[in-house]
Structure 1
Amino acid sequence: MSVLLKLTNVAVYVGDTCLLEPISLELKQGEPLTILGQTGSGKSLLAQAIMGLLPDNLSLQGDVEVFGKALTLEQRQALWGRDLVMLPQEPWHALDPLMKGINQVAEVYQHVQGKGHHDALVYAQQDLLDVGLADSAHKRPGQLSGGMAQRLAISAATAGGAHVILADEPTKGLDVSRRDGIVRLLQSRSIEGSLLTITHDVAIARQLGGTLLVMKQGRLVEQGEATQVLDYPKDDYTRELISAEPSAWHDITPSIREDSAEAILVADNLSLARGGRVLFDGLSFSIKQGEVVGIVGDSGCGKSSLGDALLNLLPISAGSILRSNKTAKPHQWLKLYQDPPSAFSSSVSLGQLLEDLILLHGIDTDRIAPLMDRLSLPHGILERNCLAVSGGELQRFAILRALLLDPVFLFADEPTSQLDPITAKEVTALLVELAREAGCAVLLVSHDAALIQKLVIRLFRYK
């Protein structure tokens, strides 16, 4: 069995500080390798080191061999697309916002595989059909849900036929049925090569099989055959990851007094259509102070559109929405975005964005440090922009920014889709504490039924 990728004592430094301790591994043909760990464990840093995508201020030590040859940074970069490809963690960073989805996939077939225009479109249409995007082939990324954009990015990245595929959190933000489909797609695309997957999802690691490496804070803590490691973990951290899956949580639903809680929002007979398709019709419900209401449904079914309509970000087709808290300011009706990059400017640091918020709304700066600690956010993150932090760190920063504004209603659109199980458990507990302590109503959207059932007072299911 040939070795497609080999790392020997690969480490990453910033100055004299070691961010990723020396690690050695082999990726063999037909044998998948999965790296499991929570946000900040060094998983994505390792993938960037392999691809040659490390920021200029970081340095690589050790050897990277591809197809049996030790290659320089420039030589590895020359393999992109045709032989070596990395699926991005954030689809918005990889997609052209002005180009239709089918054209983005077809373009890869044309310029990487040399297909003619007509054949490239045929292949692209089949790829989008395979991932459930046939009806959205002519939509631009901004017209897609987060999960749909993720599937489009995967289709475009794998269209070049690369033998070595590095997939960085490829199933983030997807419902279970789509998640399993993406895993099958990646397995089929790597059948003549191999697949290195970075994930915080224990279920994905189990489904992929092969060799499993578990990382924590920049170092390798356990490795072995995937089933053996997950069924009989030796390291305490591995056991903590497994036990943090939502199905193992205790219920943390906040309690409210039915006789005293005020209805913050009342929706009556709502209907909403987009793109000629009715997303929901005749929907009525209310949300009270301190109440956590959950919505479960597959990607693209209209969950996000409902939340946007409740926040007056999207016009409804029929019905009415009554927001009864007259003392609340507009900025206290908030949304946590499913894909945090869409909520931040990359032109300034996160610290500057926070400073702007403080000046605009007169926020007490003494509240920031304790909240950052509760969200496990390193204070050095404030010196970077949104492109220089992980997806999980950016999502937790988005939650920090929302909490500082003392929301009366929070539409949390897949708030833990970017987070590992341990951090997701901590963050969702914090959202429930917010509802309990501040009387904030929370509408929590997720495709993870197990997570929602542990948190909410009432649950709506979308088909």
Structure 2
Amino acid sequence: MGQEPAGAGPDGHAARGVGGKGRVAIGDRVLNAGTPDRFRGLWGREIGVLPQEPWLSLDPLMRAETQIAEAHRLVRGLLPRVARARAASDLSELGLAEAGSRFPHQLSGGMAQRVAIAAARAGGARIVIADEPTKGLDAARRDEVADLLLSEMGQAGGLLIITHDLSLARRIGGRLIVLRAGQVVESGTTRDIFAAPGQAYTRELFAADPESWSPRPSAAHPGPAVVSAEDLALVRGQRTLFQGVSLKIAAGQVFGVTGPSGCGKSSLGDAILGLIPPAHGRIRRQGGAHPFAFQKLYQDPVAAFPRKRRIGEALADVVTMAGCAAREVDVLMESLGLDPKLLERRPGAVSGGELQRLSLLRVLLRKPAFIFADEPTSRLDPITQASVIRLVTGAADTDGIAVMIVSHDQALIRNTADSVLSLSEPGNEETALRHRHRASSLS
């Protein structure tokens, strides 16, 4: 755990074209890290890999259950009928019993992550490498996935977790390595390091956990409503995600939305932006706003940037469209802690955390009146997460931007938002709106 090295790829590893060195021993095999093609025969059978981005590991043309059954059949060697039964069982264990017939684009980020986990472990590999396996999952699902990975490992297996999630690291236990800029800062048993971190960076990392944040002061005088919704209901397919939701987000206000994976948090933001129609209710947006006034900060920045264009070229297009000064890119790059050299790279040569900050930069260039931030820090280490959240909330405080933050991290929302909406599982009779207003927030 720790900060991602500069130049890492979307999965946090070295960018494409960077060679490795050293040796890797797996059982009685010793492999040269400089010739990664020699590892190919181990994939799925000896080593299972769960990438950070489920959208890059799932086939967009295959239904969820079919993808998992294929791994059971082709890698583990099960008969087709048995493979399908195992796939259905895997989905049920992960709380996705009704998702088997859906395509990846029909799943929420957290649901897609769980499908990717099921597919990665279907081959029966003894060693599992999981890169941010609980990104985008609520606390209950996070713990379920951690327990599932540990149980799948068995007595003779191994589990390597790459994560920024301190709670996940605690639950997994075992040994812990803290990295910074590609260098080992500290290593030892997880219990000992959490009890008494020996290095200043490790202590700074732990202190940046949202559980340790001081609550953000509420806006004393919020401005007029930028968006509002009355008696909103949303349906996806044949499933009602929520109903009876009413809200109002004022200029300068930070509005938080929490709830379990698949409850409709992201869909609520999309409906407010006009990207999907509500099944019932009314949405009002501030009149007279410029064309770029309502912006979305996507949960998966990999899917939001053109893959074949350099980052600088994509941002130059935004500068032209928004009519802002090119120097604003440099100012925001510095405030977000981004190396200017990243502008010369394509998205595939930039880490997930860096790409998420570049996504925020792109949104801020458009001088929005409203930002829907969908899990904006799920790819960031705690220190960078804290700085990005300060920048987002600072935009609300200083520029009067209305901000809606969706997050599974209840501590982050609790210590950041002026008002909070909690959504429940679809079909739950208690899916009614539950607001928490802080002392001086919008009434």
Structure-2-length-normalised TM-score:
0.91
> Is the counterpart of residue 97 in structure 1 residue 60 in structure 2?
yes
**Given the alignment of the two structures, is residue 152 of structure 1 paired with residue 112 of structure 2, yes or no?**
no
Equivalent of 1:385 in 327, 335, 346:
346
2: CA distance, partners of 1:436 / 1:448: 22
Task: Name the CA distance, whole Å, in 2 between partners of 1:329 and 1:429.
Answer: 25
Q: Which amino acid aligns with 1:39?
A: E
Deviation at 1:142, TM superposition (A): 0.2
Match of 1:434 among 395, 408, 416: 395
Equivalent-residue separation in structure 2 for 1:254 and 1:435 (angstroms): 11
Q: How many Å apart are 1:83 and its aligned residue?
A: 0.5
Contact 1:173 1:417 in 2 (8 A): yes
Q: Match for 2:268: what amino acid? A: L
Whole-angstrom CA distance in 2 between matches of 1:353 and 1:42: 19
Judge conservation of contact 1:254–1:290 (CA < 8 Å) in 2. Answer: no
Q: From 308, 311, 323, give the equivalent of 1:350.
A: 311
> Aligned pairs, how many?
420
Question: Hey, what's the Cα distance between the residues in 1 that align with 2:11 and 2:210?
Answer: 27
2:371 touches 2:403 (CA, 8 Å); kept in 1?
yes
Once the two structures are superposed, what CA deviation does each residue of 1:193-237 show, in whole Å capped at 9, x if it has no partner?
A: 110111111111111111111111110011111100111000001
TM-align CA RMSD: 1.7
Select 2:186's aligned residue among 201, 208, 222: 222
Who is 2:300 aligned against? Answer: 339
- Residue in structure 2 matched with residue 302 of structure 1 by the alignment: 264
Provide the residue aligned with 2:432 in structure 1.
Answer: none
| Structure 1 spans left out of the alignment, 5+ residues | 1-35
After superposition, the Cα gap between the structure-2 partners of 1:82 and 1:179, relative to the gap in structure 1 and judged at 3 Å, is same
- For 1:195, the equivalent position in structure 2 comes to 159
Report 1:361-380 matches (<5 A): 361-380=322-341
Tell me the SS of whatever aligns to 2:292: helix
SS in 2 for 1:321: strand
What is the letter of the counterpart of residue 390 of structure 2? Answer: A
- 3-state SS of paired residue (2:42): coil
Cα drift, residue 41 of structure 1: 7.2
Which amino acid letter does the alignment assign opposite residue 391 of structure 1?
Answer: G
Partner of 1:268: 230
One-letter amino acid matched to 2:203: R
Superposed, which structure 2 residues align to 1:444-459 within 5 Å? 444-459=405-420
Structure 2 counterpart SS, 1:59 = coil
Q: How does 1:36-55 map to 2 (within 5 A)?
A: 36-40=1-5, 55=16
1:254 offset after TM fit, Å?
4.2
* Residue identity (%): 45
1:414 pairs with 2:380: no
* Equivalent pair of 1:214/1:221 in contact (CA under 8 Å): yes
- Maintained 8 Å contact 2:4/2:182: no
Give a deviation string over 1:389-408, Cα, whole Å, max 9, x none: 11111111100100111110
Supply the distance in 2 between the matched residues of 1:337 and 1:409 (Cα, whole angstroms): 14
CA drift of 1:42 comes to: 8.7
Aligned counterparts of 2:9 and 2:321: Cα–Cα separation in 1: 35
Deviation at 1:342, TM superposition (A): 2.1
SS in 1 for 2:244: strand
Conserved 8 A contact 2:126-2:153: yes
Aligned to 2:73: 110
Inter-partner Cα distance in structure 1 for 2:190 and 2:202: 12
Structure 2 portions without partners, runs of 5+: 425-443
Q: Name 1:424's counterpart in structure 2.
A: 385
Shift of 1:384: 1.7
CA distance in 2 between counterparts of 1:379 and 1:177 reads 39
Deviation at 1:291, TM superposition (A): 0.6
Distance 1:247 1:227 in 2: 18
Question: Quick one: distance in 1 between partners of 2:243 and 2:135?
Answer: 29
Question: Over residues 387-441 of structure 1, what are the superposed CA-to-partner deviations in whole Å (9 max), with x where a residue is unaligned?
Answer: 2211111111100100111110111111111111111111111111000111110
Runs of 4+ aligned structure 1 residues displaced above 3 Å come to: 41-49
**What are the superposed Cα offsets for residues 69-106 of structure 1, whole Å, 9 maximum, x if unpaired?**
32142321221110012110111110111110000000
Deviation, 1:363, is: 2.0
1:115-134 pair list within 5 angstroms: 115-134=78-97
Residues 264 and 43 (structure 1 numbering): CA distance in 2 closer, same or farther, change over 3 Å? closer
Q: Distance in 2 between matches of 1:142 and 1:46?
A: 20
CA contact (8 A) 2:225 2:248 kept: yes
Counterpart check, 1:64 vs 2:30: no
Output the CA distance in 2 between the equivalents of 1:42 and 1:403: 24
- Whose strand fraction is larger, Structure 1's or Structure 2's? 1
Query: Is the 1:211–1:224 contact (alpha carbons within 8 Å) kept by the matching residues of 2?
Result: yes
Match of residue 138 from structure 1: 101
Indicate whether 1:75 and 2:38 are aligned: yes
Q: Distance in 1 between matches of 2:353 and 2:57?
A: 18
State how 1:147-296 maps to structure 2 within 5 Å.
147-191=110-154, 192-258=156-222, 261-296=223-258
Residue 156 of structure 1, CA deviation = 0.5
Deviations 1:273-330 (A, max 9, x none): 111222222222211110111111011001111111100000011211111241x222
